[in-house]
Amino acid sequence: MTGPDERHQRPDGLDDTTVQALGKLSEALETVERVRGHLYSMHQLTGTADFMLDEAVSLFMQAGHVETAERIQQELIGRNVIPGHWTFQIVEAYDDGYYTEFRELERDAREKLAQGRRHLYEAELKEQRRTRGRAGHEALPGYSA
């Protein structure tokens, strides 16, 4: 095969501007996916730091710094990271709201305008940029140049 597979070919009648718009929407979703990953990193790192504080409190107690240990224990361990929220609540709110709506709108746009096909812009870009007949520039996995 010398070009993209059918699921990466533009449906008949789909114009360049719509392909570009779908590509930009997909790119925006990819950015939102990265944001989501960062939120999960924040969630996990904050939890890790919170548990590290247990050891810090223990060490301050052993060193005789009871006031410092108690302050950390009472004011910081288990504290909300923003009013009323632990990190899992932030992640859930993001996932259930903005993230879910974004994914649905992107999918709906693809379904309505491009028969659900993904990455049309990128597939066409690959065809423009690859060198036909050259190893490492194959149109599809499993095909020779």
Among 128, 126, 106, 125, smallest CA distance to 117 is for 106
Q: From CA 95, how far away is CA 86, in angstroms rounded? A: 15
Residue 11 in any domain: the answer is: no
Number of structural domains the chain divides into: 1
Output the pTM of the full model. Answer: 0.84
Q: From CA 136, how far away is CA 145, in angstroms rounded? A: 7
Strand partners for 82: 85
Q: What percent of the chain has pLDDT over 90?
A: 82
> pLDDT tens digits, residue range 107-139?
999 999 999 999 999 999 999 999 998 998 988
Kindly tell me if the per-residue pLDDT of 7 is higher than 90. no
**CB-facing half-sphere around the CA of 91: CA atoms within 13 A:** 15
Residue 139 in any domain: the answer is: no
Residue 110 in any domain: the answer is: yes
Residue 143 in any domain: the answer is: no
Residue 145 in any domain: the answer is: no
User: What residues make up the domain containing 32?
Assistant: 16-129
Q: How many helices (H) and strands (E) does the chain have?
A: 5, 0
Residue 87 in any domain: the answer is: yes
